[in-house]
């Protein structure tokens, strides 16, 4: 018995809701890279440490846009901040988001204060903006530099749990989606964090090469190699966790698996299995392994690291958009009734016998199936139908004039 309430046949949460965790993933990942330098002293990442902060800031500013697009009344979105209902998990969004934004802004301010001071001298718009950002205090000596450095280190340390909170919170919201078996797992939080780090490092590598090329900067080879190694390590964990999650659902063979199995074998075969795991995970894994384990020339290393970062970035988009959108849409179980105008015919779905009409096909919403309907004395019908919740397809059977059975009739 699989029945979807009439109102639930409509999809309320779709692609725009899914884009948000993808972007916060980039933010959290990029921030963690900068923290690796600022807090854990990974000096090989110095070249991208400030760059990663700027990336985190830009992505964070953009993150609420898809959410705004999703809302029925974006002009009222500030209500979440003005009149929050604290019993709702979503009411925390504005506070978590804004405190993280504040933290990133402060971190950038303390890390880049010297750069702002250098640019604040002279006349014109840019120096004036720099002076305004510095609150018109251009004083700098060794003591202020030490203080700035100390505060930046503290903020970067604070930023790691905050990044986990920002991103894990989204995981929590999604985990409460009752319509989605794929997401409601305790592993979701950990998967979210690790895929965030992977996409964060990937986007940094991608941008670092592009921006260096445009500005004709000299690429820091040590930094690239280090990022390649980190990317390799974190992607192994992220992909392993994702596989582990599916394996555990598959092994338990619960009702959820019936839905996911069909989803993976039919609708997501190309995007999920072939492209995401086959092409966009295995290939970067091999390329990164080669660049990490063998001593290669700079140009070859750069090419391998950049290509795999770009591929992983695409893989994460793939993970976020079509498959998850697919989870939301197609994860809804649908019961589609197949019937004929006369008698009781035999229905075959994708070549397999389903049963005698009226028969109900249980699948996932949006799935397209090929049916064959056979009834003795009538022309066999072949149809492609889209499975809808509570959908019904009634086929008109036409008598086969020249068939054996008719001729035998008295």
Partner 1 sequence: MSDDTGHDPKKSRRDMLKAIGVGAGLLLLPIGRVKADKDDKTADPDYDWEKHYWGYAVDTTKCIGCLACMRACRAENDVPAGYVRTWVERYSISADGTVRVDCAKDEMKGFEEVKDEPVKSFFVPKICNHCEKSVCNQVCPVGAAYRTKDGVVLVDTQRCIGCGYCVQACPYGSRFINPTTHTADKCTLCYHRITKGMQPACVQACPKGARIFGDLADKKSPLSILLRQRRYRLLKPEMGTHPKCYYIGLDREVI
Rounded CA gap, 280 and 165, in Å?
A: 28
Dihedral sign for Cα 240, 245, 246, 252, please.
positive
Asked if 379 interacts with partner 1 (CB under 8 A), we say: no
Asked if 164 interacts with partner 1 (CB under 8 A), we say: no
Asked if 80 interacts with partner 1 (CB under 8 A), we say: yes
The region of 52-60, 89-97, 150-158, 361-369 touching partner 1 under the rule CB under 8 A is 89-97
Rounded CA gap, 380 and 252, in Å?
A: 39
The region of 82-90, 237-245, 268-276, 286-294 touching partner 1 under the rule CB under 8 A is 82-90
Residue pair 97/184 in contact (Cβ under 8 Å)? The answer is no
Q: Is 171 exposed, middle or buried (0-12, 13-18, 19+ CB in 10 A)?
A: buried
DSSP string for residues in 6-47: GGGGS--S-HHHHHHHHHHHHHHHHHHHHHHHHTT--GGGHH
Contacts with partner 1 by CB under 8 A: the residue count is: 41
Q: Which is nearer to partner 1, 79 or 114 (CB)?
A: 79
Q: Buried b / exposed e across 220-246, counting CB within 10 Å, b at 16+?
A: beebbbbbbbbbbebbbbbbebbeebb
Give the three-class secondary structure for 243. helix
Site for partner 1 in 5-24 (CB under 8 A): 5-8, 10, 12-13
Asked if 135 interacts with partner 1 (CB under 8 A), we say: no
Asked if 179 interacts with partner 1 (CB under 8 A), we say: yes
- The binder of partner 1 chosen from 41, 62, 69, 79 (CB under 8 A): 79
- The binder of partner 1 chosen from 15, 58, 91, 219 (CB under 8 A): 91
Rounded CA gap, 186 and 308, in Å?
A: 29
- The binder of partner 1 chosen from 24, 323, 357, 393 (CB under 8 A): 357
Around Cβ 169, how many Cβ atoms within 10 Å? Answer: 21
- The binder of partner 1 chosen from 69, 76, 350, 403 (CB under 8 A): 76
As measured in angstroms, the least distance from the Cβ of 171 to partner 1 is 15
- The binder of partner 1 chosen from 43, 88, 221, 405 (CB under 8 A): 88
As measured in angstroms, the least distance from the Cβ of 157 to partner 1 is 29
Asked if 77 interacts with partner 1 (CB under 8 A), we say: yes
Q: Which is nearer to partner 1, 176 or 221 (CB)?
A: 176
Rounded CA gap, 119 and 157, in Å?
A: 28
As measured in angstroms, the least distance from the Cβ of 191 to partner 1 is 21
Tell me, residue by residue from 320 to 339, as one string, x for binding to partner 1 by CB under 8 A and - for no binding: -----------------x-x
Rounded CA gap, 3 and 337, in Å?
A: 12
Site for partner 1 in 23-42 (CB under 8 A): none
Asked if 93 interacts with partner 1 (CB under 8 A), we say: yes
Residue pair 388/361 in contact (Cβ under 8 Å)? The answer is no
Give 123's DSSP letter.
Answer: S
The region of 88-96, 106-114, 202-210, 309-317 touching partner 1 under the rule CB under 8 A is 88-96
DSSP string for residues in 314-380: HHHHHIIIIIHHHHHHHTSEEEEEEEESSS--EEEETTEEEEESSEEEEEETT-EEEEEEE-TTB--
Where does this chain bind partner 1 (CB under 8 A)? Answer: 1, 3-8, 10, 12-13, 70-74, 76-77, 79-80, 82-85, 87-91, 93, 176-179, 337, 339, 344, 357-358, 360, 390, 392
């Amino acid at each position: 018995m699989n029945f979807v309430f009439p109102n639930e046949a409509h999809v309320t949460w779709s692609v725009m809701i899914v884009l948000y965790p993808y972007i916060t993933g980039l933010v959290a990942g990029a921030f963690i890279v900068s923290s690796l330098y600022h807090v854990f002293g990974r000096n090989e990442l110095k070249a991208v440490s400030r760059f990663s902060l700027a990336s985190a800031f830009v992505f964070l500013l953009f993150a609420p846009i898809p959410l705004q697009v999703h809302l029925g009344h974006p002009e009222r979105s500030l209500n979440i901040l003005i009149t929050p209902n604290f019993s709702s998990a979503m009411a925390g969004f504005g506070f978590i988001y804004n405190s993280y934004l504040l933290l990133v802004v402060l971190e950038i301010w303390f890390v880049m204060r010297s750069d702002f001071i250098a640019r604040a001298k002279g006349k014109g718009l840019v120096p004036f903006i720099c002076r305004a950002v510095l609150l018109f205090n251009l004083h700098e000596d060794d003591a202020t530099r030490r203080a700035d450095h100390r505060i930046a280190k503290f903020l970067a340390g604070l930023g790691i749990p905050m990044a986990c909170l920002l991103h894990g919170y989204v995981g929590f919201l999604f985990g409460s989606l009752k319509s989605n078996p794929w997401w409601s797992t305790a592993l979701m939080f950990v998967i979210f964090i690790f895929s965030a780090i992977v996409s964060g490092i990937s986007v940094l590598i991608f941008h670092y090469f592009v921006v260096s090329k445009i500005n004709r900067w000299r690429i820091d080879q040590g930094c690239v190699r280090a990022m390649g190694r980190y990317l390799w390590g974190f992607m192994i964990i992220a992909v392993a966790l994702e596989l582990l999650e599916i394996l555990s659902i598959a092994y338990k063979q619960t009702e959820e698996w019936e839905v996911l199995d069909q989803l993976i074998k039919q609708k997501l075969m190309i995007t999920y299995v072939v492209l995401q795991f086959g092409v966009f995970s295995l290939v970067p894994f091999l390329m990164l392994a080669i660049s990490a384990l063998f001593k290669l020339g700079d140009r070859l290393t750069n090419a391998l690291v950049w290509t795999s970062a770009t591929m992983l970035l695409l893989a994460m988009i793939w993970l976020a958009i079509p498959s998850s959108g697919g989870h939301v849409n197609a994860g809804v179980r649908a019961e589609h009734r197949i019937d004929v105008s006369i008698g009781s015919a035999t229905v075959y779905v994708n070549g397999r016998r389903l049963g005698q009409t009226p028969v109900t096909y249980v699948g996932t919403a949006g799935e397209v199936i090929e049916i064959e309907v056979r009834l003795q004395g009538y022309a066999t019908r072949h149809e492609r139908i889209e499975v809808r919740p509570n959908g019904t397809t009634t086929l008109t059977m036409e008598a086969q004039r020249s068939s054996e059975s008719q001729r035998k009739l008295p």
